[in-house]
Amino acid sequence: MGFAKRLKIQGKVLDCGAGGNRPPIALFSKHGYESYGIDNSQAEIEKAKEFIDKYGLEVELAEGDMRHLLFDDEFFECVFSYNASILLTKKDTEKAVNEMLRVLKKGGILCMNFLWYDKVDPRRGEEKNPGEFWNQEHGEETVHSFFTEEEVEELLKGTKTIYREKIQMKVWFNERYFTESSFDYIVQKE
């Protein structure tokens, strides 16, 4: 959120994959942004709503899929997505990135993260396609996609990188903790 203030971004913000107990979009609402969030799980949306109502914030939350956004072109000044596209196949990540850039105004900023291919824990599962690791999570077949730097640059072409940071994430997965790298990107649509 701090980056949006520093870059003097104002107006409408969309969070893709906005559900969960501590929805990041709540911070945008708290700081006066016109805030929207979509998530493809109604149960996760309910959790986010509970948090948002508890703190008296305003976020337009709806069920939706980040691969097919139901918003007009260039509708938002900022699009945000954290730890959500990592749950898509690589082809679907490409669709989601294209959609997020489509609904973003020229000069607007996209903030999202990618899992980094240089450090994949073997417990992530079977690599069925390059960078796509499949495993059972909560009884369901789940994918986590990992990217190389070149692949991310290709996905984000047509944008200017404002900031990027590689961070170590402590991950709780199938009853164990392990560490992985996330590459967080803030890019501006040209």
Interface with ligand SAM, residue 117, by CB under 6 A = no
Tell me the window of 15-23, 97-105, 135-143, 166-174 that interacts with ligand SAM (CB under 6 A): 15-23
Interface with ligand SAM, residue 83, by CB under 6 A = yes
DSSP character string of 53-91? HHTT--EEEEE-BTTB--S-TT-EEEEEE-SSGGGS-HH
- How far is Cα 6 from Cα 26, in angstroms, rounded to an integer? 18
Express the helix, strand and coil content of the chain in percent, nearest 5 each.
25, 45, 30
* Cβ at position 166, least distance to ligand SAM in Å: 18
Interface with ligand SAM, residue 82, by CB under 6 A = yes
- How far is Cα 43 from Cα 61, in angstroms, rounded to an integer? 12
Interface with ligand SAM, residue 98, by CB under 6 A = no
* Cβ at position 163, least distance to ligand SAM in Å: 18
Interface with ligand SAM, residue 67, by CB under 6 A = yes
Is the Cα dihedral 75, 79, 12, 48 positive or negative? positive
* Cβ at position 190, least distance to ligand SAM in Å: 26
**Residue of minimal Cβ distance to ligand SAM:** 17
**In the beta sheet, which residues pair with residue 169?**
180
If the CB atoms of residues 20 and 125 are measured against ligand SAM, the closer one turns out to be 20
If the CB atoms of residues 8 and 113 are measured against ligand SAM, the closer one turns out to be 113
- How far is Cα 14 from Cα 80, in angstroms, rounded to an integer? 6
- How far is Cα 132 from Cα 50, in angstroms, rounded to an integer? 33
Q: Hey, which residues between 17 and 56 contact ligand SAM (CB under 6 A)? A: 17, 19-20, 22, 24, 38-41, 44
Interface with ligand SAM, residue 65, by CB under 6 A = yes
Phi, psi of 19 (to 5 degrees): -80, -175
Interface with ligand SAM, residue 87, by CB under 6 A = yes
* Residues of the shown chain interacting with ligand SAM in the complex, contacts defined by CB under 6 A: 16-17, 19-20, 22, 24, 38-41, 44, 65-67, 82-84, 87-88
